């Protein structure tokens, strides 16, 4: 049997190497005459200087039988006539338990330039989302370790959440708290398009030593080519899928999906796509559901995903925010006004929704949440009258109660970066606070 397989493999082996030639470079796009290749395949471009390393590139399109390639690295050594060789394969990474505690780039290589540990498995970065009929239902809460979320916006195992915020409102800090405090087995954290300085800051301060022990971090900084930033998201998702298929409960945290969309915009426009909504080509809105639907549950395990979304000028209806909100299972809105008032994490509970919460919490928990939401909404509606002193106490009992409970609710929703609350402690604190509401 083994001999037959060996002969079959020999017969199917292509004994010729076929090369193409670089014809021109336009911006971030390389145009080559040959070789025969398909979309998504990795190619090597060999510089004419023999002491230079081959440049990895990916086939992203075609133009009148010419191949359009986009490099994973800078292309200073590429010139006319450079040889192009196709690997006939899409991008694959090495993945396994040996990666835990490591910081890797979009190609799965260690960022500290050390060698990868032995015993890793080769795994494709492009995977199909699970069949909807094989997805296990979300019926169990997962501890996030942030009191405001566990009590008022409970997250289920396998749920996908968007963290919507402007810049500097505390997204990275919140992700670090979730990574440290969550009950998930493994964290996979993708830092896409971040400043180089922020990467080390996130690892040392937001994540910390304890968080790093059960995390794999995928980094693609803002100075890297668009394809590397885009592949960072696919690599992190593939690592999460690998561990999910082994039966682990995985947290995937991606900061930020907006920068993934911006990277795809660069790729799309460079390959000749027309700009449509706010300069984004159609491919951006095609890849978002394909990427985000890969997470969640399957028959083996679950990926609970947290995607940060940058909202320009705190506009919640800009195209990417609107598209992502429609795909995910809930959204948490981080409010700059709350951050300015010193409430951290600055989650606006009234504007936030967890779509699976009602299925995974008890009726008492649900009732206590609604009591607090009702009081917060009443205070918010009458906030201007209260602030200018136009409201007279005793006019409306519900408003009076909202005013008296408002400081207690604010204190309840605040949490220091290093504070830890279990899911049970958060629910108990909610119960005690809601017990005084009539």
Task: Give the tens place of pLDDT for each residue, 411-425.
Answer: 999 999 889 999 999
Distance CA 370, CA 362 (A): 13
Position 4 in a domain: no
Q: Where are the alpha helices (DSSP H) in 202-318?
A: 208-212, 226-245, 257-270, 282-292
Q: Does residue 378 sit in the same domain as residue 344?
A: no
- State mean pLDDT over 171-188: 93
Higher pLDDT, 421 or 14: 421
pLDDT of residue 324: 94
Q: Does residue 370 sit in the same domain as residue 432?
A: yes
pLDDT of residue 288: 95
Q: Kindly give, in sequence order, each residue whose CB lies less than 8 Å from that of residue 409, ignoring residues fewer than 6 positions away.
A: 372, 375, 376, 433
Structure tokens at 154: 């409970």
Contact in structure between 356 and 161 (CB atoms under 8 Å): no
Q: Which of 335, 240, 255 lies closest to 294, judged by CA?
A: 240
Q: Does residue 198 sit in the same domain as residue 232?
A: yes
Q: Does residue 170 sit in the same domain as residue 300?
A: yes
pLDDT of residue 15: 65
pLDDT of residue 2: 67
Position 351 in a domain: yes
- State mean pLDDT over 125-131: 92
CATH number for the domain harbouring residue 22: 2.40.30.20
pLDDT of residue 311: 85
Lowest mean pLDDT of 11-20, 153-162, 163-172, name the range.
Answer: 11-20
Q: Does residue 231 sit in the same domain as residue 272?
A: yes
Higher pLDDT, 64 or 296: 296
Give the 3-state secondary structure percentages of the chain, helix then strand then coil, rounded to 5. Answer: 40, 25, 35
**Which of residues 46, 63, 90 is at a domain's end?**
90
Q: Is the pLDDT of residue 313 over 80?
A: no
For 59, the domain range is 17-90
CATH number for the domain harbouring residue 105: 3.40.50.12240
Q: Does residue 85 sit in the same domain as residue 169?
A: no
Contact in structure between 334 and 168 (CB atoms under 8 Å): no
Length of the chain: 438
pLDDT of residue 383: 84
Q: Does residue 76 sit in the same domain as residue 133?
A: no
pLDDT of residue 206: 87
Q: Is the pLDDT of residue 331 over 70?
A: yes
Burial-class residue 436 by CB neighbours within 10 Å (0-12, 13-18, 19+): exposed
Q: Does residue 41 sit in the same domain as residue 164?
A: no
Distance CA 156, CA 240 (A): 17
Exposure string over 187-225, b if 16+ CB within 10 A, otherwise e:
bbbbbbbbeeeebeebbeebbbeebbebbbbbbbbeebb
Q: Is the pLDDT of residue 347 over 80?
A: yes
Lowest mean pLDDT of 202-206, 390-394, 413-417, name the range.
Answer: 390-394
Mean residue pLDDT of the chain comes to: 90
pLDDT of residue 19: 86
Q: Does residue 301 sit in the same domain as residue 399?
A: no
Nearest-Å Rg of the Cα atoms of the chain is 25
Q: What percent of the chain has pLDDT over 90?
A: 62
Q: Per DSSP, which regions of 129-233 are E strands?
A: 160-165, 186-194, 215-221
Contact in structure between 20 and 34 (CB atoms under 8 Å): yes
Position 26 in a domain: yes
Burial-class residue 7 by CB neighbours within 10 Å (0-12, 13-18, 19+): exposed
**Which of residues 90, 109, 129 is at a domain's end?**
90
Position 418 in a domain: yes
pLDDT of residue 1: 58
Structure tokens at 179: 């990574």
Q: Does residue 301 sit in the same domain as residue 217?
A: yes
Position 10 in a domain: no
End-to-end CA distance of the chain, in Å? 76
- State mean pLDDT over 180-188: 94
Count structural domains, the chain.
Answer: 3
| Helix and strand numbers, DSSP H then E, in the chain | 15, 17
Lowest mean pLDDT of 25-34, 212-221, 231-240, 283-292, name the range.
Answer: 25-34
Q: Does residue 303 sit in the same domain as residue 390?
A: no
pLDDT tens digits for range 251-308:
999 988 999 999 999 999 988 889 887 889 999 999 999 999 999 999 999 999 999 9
**Which of residues 60, 90, 120 is at a domain's end?**
90
- List Cβ<8 Å contacts ≥24 apart for 332-341: 332/149, 332/153, 332/161, 332/162, 332/163, 332/164, 333/164, 333/165, 334/163, 334/164, 334/165, 334/166, 334/169, 334/170, 334/171, 334/174, 335/169, 336/165, 336/166, 336/169, 339/168, 339/169, 339/170
């Amino acid at each position: 049997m083994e001999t037959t397989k060996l002969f079959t493999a020999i017969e199917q082996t292509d004994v010729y190497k076929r090369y193409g030639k670089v014809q021109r470079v336009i911006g971030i796009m390389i145009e080559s005459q040959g070789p025969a290749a398909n979309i998504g395949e990795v190619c090597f471009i060999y510089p004419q200087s023999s002491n230079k390393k081959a440049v990895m590139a990916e086939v992203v399109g075609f133009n009148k039988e010419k191949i359009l390639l986009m490099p994973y690295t800078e292309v200073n050594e590429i010139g006319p006539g450079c040889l192009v060789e196709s690997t006939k394969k899409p991008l694959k990474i090495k993945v396994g338990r040996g990666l835990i505690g490591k910081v890797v780039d979009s190609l799965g290589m260690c960022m500290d330039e050390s060698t990868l540990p032995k015993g890793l498995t080769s795994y494709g970065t492009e995977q199909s989302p699970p069949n909807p009929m094989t997805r296990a239902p979300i019926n169990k809460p997962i501890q996030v370790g942030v009191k405001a979320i566990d009590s008022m916006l409970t997250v289920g195992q396998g749920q996908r959440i968007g963290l919507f915020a402007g810049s500097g409102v505390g997204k990275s800090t919140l992700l670090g708290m979730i990574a440290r405090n969550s009950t998930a087995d493994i964290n996979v954290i993708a830092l896409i398009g971040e400043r180089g300085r922020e990467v080390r800051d996130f690892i040392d301060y937001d994540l910390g030593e304890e968080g790093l022990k059960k995390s794999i971090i995928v980094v693609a900084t803002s100075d890297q080519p668009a394809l590397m930033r885009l592949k960072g998201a696919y690599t992190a998702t593939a690592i999460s899928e690998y561990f999910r298929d082994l039966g682990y409960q995985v947290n995937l945290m991606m900061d930020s999906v907006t920068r993934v969309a911006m990277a795809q915009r660069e790729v799309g426009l460079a390959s000749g796509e027309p700009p449509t909504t706010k300069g984004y080509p159609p491919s951006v809105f095609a890849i978002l559901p394909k990427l985000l639907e890969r997470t969640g549950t399957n028959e083996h395990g679950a990926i609970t995903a947290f995607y940060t979304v940058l909202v320009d000028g705190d506009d919640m209806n800009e195209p990417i925010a609107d598209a992502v909100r429609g795909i995910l299972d809930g959204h948490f809105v981080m409010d700059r006004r709350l951050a300015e008032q010193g409430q951290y994490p600055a989650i606006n509970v009234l504007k936030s929704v967890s779509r699976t919460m009602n299925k995974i919490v008890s009726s008492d928990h649900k009732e206590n949440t609604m009591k607090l939401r009702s009081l917060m909404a009443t205070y918010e509606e009458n906030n201007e009258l209260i602030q200018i002193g136009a409201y007279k106490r005793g006019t409306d009992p519900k408003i009076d109660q909202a005013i008296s409970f408002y400081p207690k609710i604010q204190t309840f929703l605040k949490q220091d970066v290093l504070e830890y609350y279990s899911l049970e402690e958060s629910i108990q604190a909610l119960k005690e606070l809601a017990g005084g509401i009539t």
